[in-house]
Structure 1
Amino acid sequence: MTRPTGFIPVLPLRNTILYPGIKQALRVGREKSVKALQKSYELNNWIVVAAQKDPASKAESTDELYQIGVLCKIESVRGNPDNGYTLVVKGVDRIRMVETRVEQGHFEAIVENEPDVADPDEGTSKVLLTSLKDLSIETLRLVPADTREMEELVKGIDDLGILVYTAAAHAEFDHAEKQKLLETLSLRERGMLLLTLLQSAKDNLQVQADIRAKLSSKFGQTHREQILREQLKAIKEELGEGEETGMASDYEKKIKAAGMPEEALKLAETQMKRLQDINPASPEHQVVRNHLDLLVSLPWSKTSETKDIDLDEARRILDEDHYGLEKIKKRILQHLAVMKVKNNQSGSILLFVGPPGVGKTSLAASIAKALGRQYVRVSVGGIRDDAEIRGHRRTYVGALPGRVISGLKKAGENNPVFVLDELDKLGRGFSGDPAAALLEVLDPEQNKAFNDLYLDTGFDLSKVFFVGTANSLEGIPGPLLDRMEVIDVSGYTSAEKFHIAKRHLWPKQLEHHGLKPEQLQIADEALVKLISGYTREAGVRDLQRKLAEVIRASTEKVLNVTDQGPVVVDLVMLEEVLGPDRFFSEVAEHSAEYGVVTGLAWTPVGGDILFIEAALMPGTGQLLTTGQLGDVMKESARIALSLLKSRLPSMARQTEFSKQDLHVHVPAGAIPKDGPSAGVTMLTALASLVAKRRVDPRLGMTGEITLRGAVMPVGGIKEKVLAAHRAGVTVLILPKRNEKDLRDVPDDIRAQLRFHFVENVNEVLKIALGLETPMMRDEDYTTSEPPLIPPPLDA
């Protein structure tokens, strides 16, 4: 085990003394401690542990720490920066800190070993070992708990040094006495000191046992509750502690004020009685207290005084916070109207699905504002352990409640608007299935008594207004999706982005950077150029970053301006800040070529265009596909080839496919692609290659094809049309059955495009290539079977 050299991070401890060779679970929450923990990762998890001289101090300098500590190896870490960490460390060597410093907010020290001073008298050591074993076992047997496992551990230790540290680590000694044991270098003296401390602890435990025996003879088993209270009182009188500290009475008041249901009330009272009986120095005392704190802090009956739903006010809030999205706003208002009529506080569970940056999460915040409720957001993306939803059992070290219960505690009321963000990115690991845990949360029939494992009692979630967000439905399991009402939130047009930037993003970024509108403005033509030339996205997240970059670069000019007029960001200044255009019209860069056709695609981050390329080469009649195509897309290529041979037989014979290989490629090979909607595009690319006719790159198309030549409908029409418009496509070929989906496309975008709606591939080839292909007739198929005669209709 290679030890680090130089400065090592130091972890200050309040009430714990660690010894070499002993494993210990430590709770880390202070900022300097967290930074020391993070620094230890760079040193292969080595860290120095040193106790504070005064456990109540904040340990602002190393002078407040004992100079003798322990060099430790961190074996495991659990937790996060918000709730603190629980780590398991093992003491390796006793050390002395010879040089200390404060570095980046945490303590560091150069250390040197402080080895034991061996006792030359081996006989004395054996006698001391036997005496310590006997006294340790006698002391353990006086503890009112099951200590058989600890007794067996003590009996099996034959090394005096290990026995001293093991007994000292598990005994309840004074903080300073434990440190004195660590600092005693002579093994014999350390053993003698422990013998004295154990004898004192045994005497105290004997007094407590005598008190329990007296009380047990005075009262019968039927008066157990009174026995416990008398026992606590007698112990405190014997130790001279006087009256109760008042902690129990404080909890009694909090329990009464919490408004718990009967089941939770019984659990809280039981935990309060346990807390009174447990020694405050015991680790279990803090576990019970944390559980009790959670019970009394949850909003069992605290419901926000929700105002009567005002649909006009809700509409005003949605319009104020979001530009466009009229269909989405209408759907939300319909949802609120149903809640108003039913007088239902929760309603169904909404799921907003759309590309990043289109306002899914902020829509939920607007709903909370309209309803007058608290807003809670929990990101569930990447969660692989269902304990993150259901909580951990309290028997585990560092156990915490799940994110749902933690979110409700943070909200302070039992009917907030609760956002479950990134539902499509839920993971699944060996620790469980978080999606299955969410079923209980989102099911109206089950969530009236949601059972968090840490809380250990049911909590009513039926009043919570749950809203989910996702970029795609593909990653959401079917049973979970079935419990939610899906609302598609599509991307924005360039005109919508312009208004959003003008009304929301620019003022928000000015305020964020400490500027006022009369100091810095952006010209309309510069904003249009910023949207078209420097961003290419469905949402406005990248646009917001670019605006922030422009404002930061303009701040110096604002400070140097001498006249009273504002600094205006124009086209020249925009190019100075952001450089040349990053995006251009993609189709404008492509000249018409044989076998190249513009297709339309849907992705979780919005629509996009793609180019299908086809080429012929001498070979043996193979069909090659490249570009990371999925199985469905490869099958579309095979169907396209079969259709080409059947619809253009003369050209197919001239091409002699049996003597040539056909290669279909989709650029951007690093990106996986799949789906049936590229069928018409592949067929057109192959026909262009065989017929030697070019397709105008400004013509885009999408649609699934069948072997019969039918063009089937596809999804994501709005996103595909918006992407085509952004890329410079002016004419679109779409399936006839998708014509109704154009209602979702803004009128100004539809007016700039020309649409062809087709039902079969013959129409596609005629529009794209000017090819007249014969329709397949019955006589084109030969069969020996007689024609089917329909059965007569019933009279």
Structure 2
Amino acid sequence: MTVVPVYNIVLVPDANMYLRTETYQNMTGKSPKIGERVMMIALRERKTRDQFAEDSFYPIGVTGEVIEHSPENGFLVIHTGERRNLDQVTVYSDHSIELGVSRREAIDDLDPELEKEHLMKLKQEMIRAAAGQPWESGIRTYLAQINSMNEAIAMMSPWIMEGAKERYELLAADSNRERMELAEKIAYQNVEMNRINTEAKNAQEEDYQKLYREQAIKKQIDYLQKELDQMHPDSVSDLRRLELAIDRSGMQGDAQKEAKKVLNRLKQEGQNSQESGMLYDYLDFVTSLSWKREKAADIDLNKARRILDEDHYGLKKVKERIIQQIAVMNLKKQQAGSILLFVGAPGTGKTSIGKSIARALDREYVRVSLGGVRDEADIRGHRRTYLGAMPGRIMDGISKSGVSNPVMVLDEIDKLGQSYNGDPASALLEVLDPEQNNTFTDHYMNVPYDLSDVFFICTANSLDTIPGPLLNRMEVISFQGYTPIEKYAIAREHLFAKSLDKVGLSCDQISISDDAIHALIEDYTREGASAVSRSIWIPYAGRRRSGIWRSRISWLR
């Protein structure tokens, strides 16, 4: 007799069990034959043939015989007989199984008429559950061939939800009436569950159909609206323009959700409401920002060094540190390195070198003056609940630059103040921290914005008034005062031509002697070069206004 272990299949006596040919071969190691006598036993857990052990099976099995086999369809039918106790189980090294069994008596306490009545009710319930389904005709055919509750539960075996233990309880029940009640309970539960699943699936399909229809209508509306916009570009409404700007801006996640929420609110309240101006200004601002991450470009270090040398004389150590940072950025293809803090006397080139860095990186340049700022809202922005609310200076600078990766110079950071409106220096801690500024949230915007690609440069005249935590986030680079020789070179190579340009003159019309430049440096300037520039162009301006200059003038001390 062939032993056929099965898992998660209902085993009951006197019923037709449907089994895959592949399953039979995997569990027995041979192909089925019609008329072959078998002993079907239930596995406690899902196992393969090479994992069988003596304790892998439940202690009751059922005899059977292969009555049908359809190799082309891959199925066979085993008609079960009587139950057997598994008194001894032996698993050999070739994975074959030998059983010592004894007959297990059943309690015949079930009235055939009662079983027939219950079976009829179950069939009717199953037919009602199958009504309108594609498989309704197949269910009716199967049910016409069923003559007992055991056959009914065996037919439902592939689709019922109960586990191996609950299925085995049907085989272990000695009372025929108890087995029928268990089978009836499982059958009704699964019929009801199938009905609920069908209803849920139908409802879901209806929802999908509504959603697909809604999406199709929206696409049609969008298409028609685009056609109208192309035909009449001058008549596009402000709301439509804002809607298109949101779609084109590249916003993602919370930003897009907030923008569309405000847009819907503006549509509902209308342009004549009291808050329409505030809502419009908000959408106009957030859509003016660049939300798309700029692609990292290759940086020519030789070109960067040449630009720095063209715009600024001297400052060898400063330029070397800047080139190092640019080299790291070029290597990592992203913003990297420290936040640079340029410290030095007025006129030493701290602010202007920021423009040169922007030109060397081929980026936009924006300057944010922080001198005298005493309100935290100047950095983080005002909440939109306030009348006249505006974004902070950081986001305003990003908006003016038009890109997400400008070179931003925070000028005069040492002159930040404090008041009852908060500490702006503390608000800058998040802006200048590379670990936090990728989710900087301006109070006016109320959504995070990524500042991690911004090249921040700070300038100061002194370190004494900068708070320690803020100073700790920056690398201090000192700008020393220029020597007279350096001032002479700066005046001759850079400032002379710029000063003439300010008063509308050219080098062909005016010349200046070396003695005059040395006199200006010694008598009218200190550390920086700003005073040298003023000393050169102010006399020219005065002479041109008075009209006492010839086609070529040599101005001596």
Q: TM-score range by the shorter chain?
A: 0.5 to 0.7
Per-residue Cα deviation, 1:656-693 (whole angstroms, up to 9, x for no partner): xxxxxxxxxxxxxxxxxxxxxxxxxxxxxxxxxxxxxx
1:544 equivalenced with 2:533 (yes/no): yes
Per-residue Cα deviation, 1:387-422 (whole angstroms, up to 9, x for no partner): 000000001010000000000000000000011000
In structure 2, the residue matched to 1:37 is: none
- Cα distance in 1 for partners of 2:548, 2:336 equals 51
- Cα distance in 2 for partners of 1:435, 1:265 equals 30
- Structure 2 unmatched runs, 5+: 1-209, 218-234
In structure 2, the residue matched to 1:317 is: 307
In structure 2, the residue matched to 1:253 is: 244
In structure 2, the residue matched to 1:362 is: 352
Task: Tell me the amino acid that sits aligned with residue 528 of structure 1.
Answer: H
- Cα distance in 2 for partners of 1:347, 1:412 equals 24
Kindly indicate whether the alpha-carbon contact (under 8 Å) linking 2:297 and 2:333 is maintained by their aligned counterparts in 1: no
- Cα distance in 2 for partners of 1:307, 1:452 equals 28
- The equivalent position to 2:503 in structure 1, one of 513, 516, 521, is 513
1:525 equivalenced with 2:515 (yes/no): yes
Aligned-partner SS, 1:345: coil
State the Cα distance separating 1:262 from its structure 2 match. 1.1
Aligned pair in 2 of structure 1 residues 371, 450: CA closer, same or farther (>3 Å)?
same
Kindly indicate whether the alpha-carbon contact (under 8 Å) linking 1:347 and 1:465 is maintained by their aligned counterparts in 2: no
In structure 1, the residue matched to 2:334 is: 344
Per-residue Cα deviation, 1:612-671 (whole angstroms, up to 9, x for no partner): xxxxxxxxxxxxxxxxxxxxxxxxxxxxxxxxxxxxxxxxxxxxxxxxxxxxxxxxxxxx
Aligned pair in 2 of structure 1 residues 337, 359: CA closer, same or farther (>3 Å)?
same
Kindly indicate whether the alpha-carbon contact (under 8 Å) linking 1:352 and 1:468 is maintained by their aligned counterparts in 2: yes
Rg bigger for which structure? 2
- Cα distance in 1 for partners of 2:354, 2:463 equals 18
State the Cα distance separating 1:346 from its structure 2 match. 4.4
Q: 1:646-665 residue pairs with structure 2 within 5 A?
A: none
1:327 equivalenced with 2:303 (yes/no): no
Q: 1:471-490 residue pairs with structure 2 within 5 A?
A: 471-490=461-480
Kindly indicate whether the alpha-carbon contact (under 8 Å) linking 1:353 and 1:360 is maintained by their aligned counterparts in 2: yes
1:379 equivalenced with 2:369 (yes/no): yes
Task: Tell me the amino acid that sits aligned with residue 357 of structure 1.
Answer: G
Q: 1:699-738 residue pairs with structure 2 within 5 A?
A: none
Q: Once superposed, what is the RMSD of the aligned Cα atoms?
A: 2.4
In structure 2, the residue matched to 1:725 is: none
- Cα distance in 2 for partners of 1:342, 1:279 equals 49
Aligned pair in 2 of structure 1 residues 407, 494: CA closer, same or farther (>3 Å)?
same
1:440 equivalenced with 2:426 (yes/no): no
Kindly indicate whether the alpha-carbon contact (under 8 Å) linking 2:383 and 2:389 is maintained by their aligned counterparts in 1: yes
Kindly indicate whether the alpha-carbon contact (under 8 Å) linking 1:318 and 1:329 is maintained by their aligned counterparts in 2: yes
Under a length normalisation based on structure 1, what TM-score does the superposition of the two structures give? Answer: 0.40
In structure 2, the residue matched to 1:390 is: 380
Kindly indicate whether the alpha-carbon contact (under 8 Å) linking 1:557 and 1:567 is maintained by their aligned counterparts in 2: no
Kindly indicate whether the alpha-carbon contact (under 8 Å) linking 1:391 and 1:403 is maintained by their aligned counterparts in 2: yes
Task: Tell me the amino acid that sits aligned with residue 537 of structure 2.
Answer: A
- Cα distance in 2 for partners of 1:557, 1:393 equals 54
Q: 1:297-316 residue pairs with structure 2 within 5 A?
A: 297-301=288-292, 303=294, 307-316=297-306
Aligned pair in 2 of structure 1 residues 327, 366: CA closer, same or farther (>3 Å)?
same
- Cα distance in 2 for partners of 1:283, 1:432 equals 30
State the Cα distance separating 1:560 from its structure 2 match. 4.7
State the Cα distance separating 1:307 from its structure 2 match. 3.6
- Cα distance in 2 for partners of 1:331, 1:279 equals 55
- The equivalent position to 2:483 in structure 1, one of 467, 484, 493, is 493
Task: Tell me the amino acid that sits aligned with residue 397 of structure 1.
Answer: L
1:268 equivalenced with 2:259 (yes/no): yes
- Cα distance in 2 for partners of 1:438, 1:557 equals 49
State the Cα distance separating 1:556 from its structure 2 match. 5.7
State the Cα distance separating 1:347 from its structure 2 match. 3.1
- Cα distance in 2 for partners of 1:397, 1:558 equals 53
- Structure 1 unmatched runs, 5+: 1-221, 230-243, 572-795
Per-residue Cα deviation, 1:468-500 (whole angstroms, up to 9, x for no partner): 000011111111111111111111000100110
State the Cα distance separating 1:328 from its structure 2 match. 1.1
Aligned length: 330
Per-residue Cα deviation, 1:327-358 (whole angstroms, up to 9, x for no partner): 11111111212222222234321110000100
Aligned-partner SS, 2:306: helix
Task: Tell me the amino acid that sits aligned with residue 360 of structure 2.
Answer: A
Q: 1:613-762 residue pairs with structure 2 within 5 A?
A: none
1:291 equivalenced with 2:291 (yes/no): no
- Cα distance in 2 for partners of 1:266, 1:474 equals 44
Under a length normalisation based on structure 2, what TM-score does the superposition of the two structures give? Answer: 0.57
State the Cα distance separating 1:306 from its structure 2 match. 5.4
State the Cα distance separating 1:246 from its structure 2 match. 3.5
- Cα distance in 2 for partners of 1:558, 1:346 equals 54
In structure 2, the residue matched to 1:156 is: none
In structure 1, the residue matched to 2:23 is: none
Aligned pair in 2 of structure 1 residues 514, 283: CA closer, same or farther (>3 Å)?
same
State the Cα distance separating 1:512 from its structure 2 match. 1.1
In structure 1, the residue matched to 2:18 is: none
Per-residue Cα deviation, 1:536-578 (whole angstroms, up to 9, x for no partner): x1101122111122211332687652xx6x201111xxxxxxx
Aligned pair in 2 of structure 1 residues 343, 302: CA closer, same or farther (>3 Å)?
closer
Task: Tell me the amino acid that sits aligned with residue 529 of structure 2.
Answer: V
Aligned-partner SS, 2:275: helix
Q: 1:393-432 residue pairs with structure 2 within 5 A?
A: 393-432=383-422
Per-residue Cα deviation, 1:157-189 (whole angstroms, up to 9, x for no partner): xxxxxxxxxxxxxxxxxxxxxxxxxxxxxxxxx
- Cα distance in 1 for partners of 2:274, 2:505 equals 53
Kindly indicate whether the alpha-carbon contact (under 8 Å) linking 2:296 and 2:334 is maintained by their aligned counterparts in 1: no
- Cα distance in 2 for partners of 1:388, 1:348 equals 24
Kindly indicate whether the alpha-carbon contact (under 8 Å) linking 1:520 and 1:558 is maintained by their aligned counterparts in 2: no
- Cα distance in 1 for partners of 2:240, 2:539 equals 59
Kindly indicate whether the alpha-carbon contact (under 8 Å) linking 2:511 and 2:554 is maintained by their aligned counterparts in 1: yes
Kindly indicate whether the alpha-carbon contact (under 8 Å) linking 1:306 and 1:371 is maintained by their aligned counterparts in 2: no
- The equivalent position to 2:555 in structure 1, one of 569, 591, 597, is 569
Task: Tell me the amino acid that sits aligned with residue 367 of structure 2.
Answer: R
Higher normalized contact order (CA 8 Å, seq sep 6+, divided by chain length): 2
Q: 1:115-264 residue pairs with structure 2 within 5 A?
A: 246-264=237-255
- Cα distance in 2 for partners of 1:380, 1:464 equals 17
State the Cα distance separating 1:460 from its structure 2 match. 0.3
Aligned-partner SS, 2:366: strand
- Cα distance in 1 for partners of 2:244, 2:297 equals 30
Aligned-partner SS, 2:331: helix
- Cα distance in 2 for partners of 1:568, 1:306 equals 51
Task: Tell me the amino acid that sits aligned with residue 260 of structure 2.
Answer: E
In structure 1, the residue matched to 2:3 is: none
Per-residue Cα deviation, 1:206-231 (whole angstroms, up to 9, x for no partner): xxxxxxxxxxxxxxxx99xx9xx9xx
In structure 2, the residue matched to 1:504 is: 494
